[in-house]
Structure 1
Amino acid sequence: MILSDKTIIKMLDENSLVIKPITKEQIQPASVDIRLGNTFSIVDDTPSGIITLESKTNYKTIKTDTYLILPGQFVLATTMEYFELPDNLTAFVEGRSSLGRMGLFIQNAGWVDPGFKGEITLELYNANRCAIELKCGRRVGQLVFAEMDDHALNPYNGKYQGQTDATGSRVFMDPDKF
């Protein structure tokens, strides 16, 4: 079941769902707007020009209130908000259609597991032929919350738990998984 604004407000008031900072204007009828934080990371060039899944990928990270994403550029960014989801609630990350219509694709693999705590790292891609100026605090997407039929047996406690800032891939930490 998708949560309504009324249920989201109730959960925030009860502190069973944590979103900080948040304004009442961010709460939409069936979602919560997420805003762009001030941390951006791009993959560091490798001598071979190849990124492998078995070794750590290095990133160049900057903190700034304005970032110019170039045409065809991929950058990691973070949300301004910090989240704590209970173990019976999951969320979908959706980009804003008005930004998608400008060629800015926003994703985070689309899913936030029950029990997750931290800022959400967003993957941004500029599919336009022009650079796009990004500003900290700008609404860039939304979270749609869905209540599960029961509490998770194993709430999220993975390698991104507690992340802050734009967090790079940690796929190298689980080489036994596909």
Structure 2
Amino acid sequence: MILTDEQIKAAVQKGELGIANFSDDCIEPASYDIRVGEFAYTSTTKAMINLTEKGLVILEPGDFGVILTLEEIKMPLDMVARFGLKSSFARKGVFASTGPQIDPGFHGRLKVGLINLSPTPIPLTYKEKFCTLEFHRLPQPSSRPYSGPYQDQLELTSKDIQHMLDSKGMVYSEVLTALSTLSRDVSALTNKMSTLADRFDSFEKTLGTRITIFSIVASFILGVIAIVIALK
């Protein structure tokens, strides 16, 4: 069963579901929007970014970034959550490289991998909503809680970053490089097409002006010829 907005609020208020930094503004009809947290990392900067100081992180074309969520989640044993990128970012060309599920018993902040597949830079501001969680009530509690490597983690560490960047080895690095090159090529092609379109518009206007002048001159000449013939 998917929890509605009121059921999510009630579960948080009763302490069944833990969402630290909870905000009523993030509640949707049947989901909860999670926000960009204090720290992020991108493959372009190759450095940890403190968003409380910088205010935002920018994903360059072809860039891979890891975002720490503002919310800290504590799942009960009788719930599982599905999460994904908000459609507003997906429409801009951002792809979320992350697992689709938060298991029963999980506790910690989420670390979301993002890839900018568009030809333009995309900013994410501190506390901006970027992913959404959908909570499902299970028929019965899970017999064992989540106990994976991300349990109880509240910070973005260098180990996490290295693991995410190297998880696919050289193949993944090559994919990132190819995406970055492709994005830059698309951006350059877009700019060239825009310049070509401007030049064509200019040529079209010039041609139109010349045709107009020619038509006037031709009309004048034909008029003179008609008058001469009439006088004869």
- Fold shared per TM-score above 0.5: yes
| Larger RCO (alpha carbons 8 Å, 6+ apart) | 1
Q: Is the 8 A contact 1:108 1:120 kept in 2?
A: no
1:166 aligned partner: 156
2:135 aligned partner: 145
Which residues in structure 2 correspond to 1:22-41 (within 5 Å)? 22-41=22-41
2:50 aligned partner: 63
Indicate the structure (1 or 2) with the bigger Cα radius of gyration.
2
Distance between the aligned counterparts of 1:35 and 1:74, measured in 2?
A: 18
| Structure 2 unaligned regions, length at least 5 | 167-232
Alignment of 1:129 onto 2:119? yes
Give the CA deviation at 1:107: 4.4
Tell me which of 37, 41, 63 is aligned to 1:73. Answer: 63
Q: Is the 8 A contact 2:36 2:67 kept in 1?
A: yes
Q: Is the 8 A contact 1:93 1:107 kept in 2?
A: no
- Secondary structure (helix, strand or coil) at the match of 1:34 reads strand
1:4 aligned partner: 4
Tell me which of 82, 85, 91 is aligned to 1:92. Answer: 82
TM-score if structure 2 supplies the norm length? 0.63
Between the two proteins, the alignment pairs up a number of residues equal to 157
Letter in 2 for 1:95: L
- Secondary structure (helix, strand or coil) at the match of 2:89 reads helix
- Secondary structure (helix, strand or coil) at the match of 2:148 reads coil
Task: Name whichever structure is richer in helix by fraction.
Answer: 2
Task: Name whichever structure is richer in strand by fraction.
Answer: 1
Q: Is the 8 A contact 2:42 2:59 kept in 1?
A: no
Tell me which of 140, 154, 158 is aligned to 2:144. Answer: 154
- Secondary structure (helix, strand or coil) at the match of 1:32 reads strand
Alignment of 1:21 onto 2:21? yes
Distance between the aligned counterparts of 1:78 and 1:40, measured in 2?
A: 6
Distance between the aligned counterparts of 1:166 and 1:140, measured in 2?
A: 17
Letter in 1 for 2:76: P
Distance between the aligned counterparts of 2:127 and 2:96, measured in 1?
A: 15
Give the CA deviation at 1:166: 3.2
Distance between the aligned counterparts of 2:56 and 2:43, measured in 1?
A: 19
Letter in 1 for 2:141: H
Q: Is the 8 A contact 1:41 1:75 kept in 2?
A: yes
- Secondary structure (helix, strand or coil) at the match of 1:15 reads coil
What percentage of residue pairs aligned between the two structures are identical?
A: 29
Q: CA RMSD in A?
A: 1.9
1:176 aligned partner: none
| Structure 1 unaligned regions, length at least 5 | 45-58, 173-178
Q: Is the 8 A contact 1:106 1:141 kept in 2?
A: no
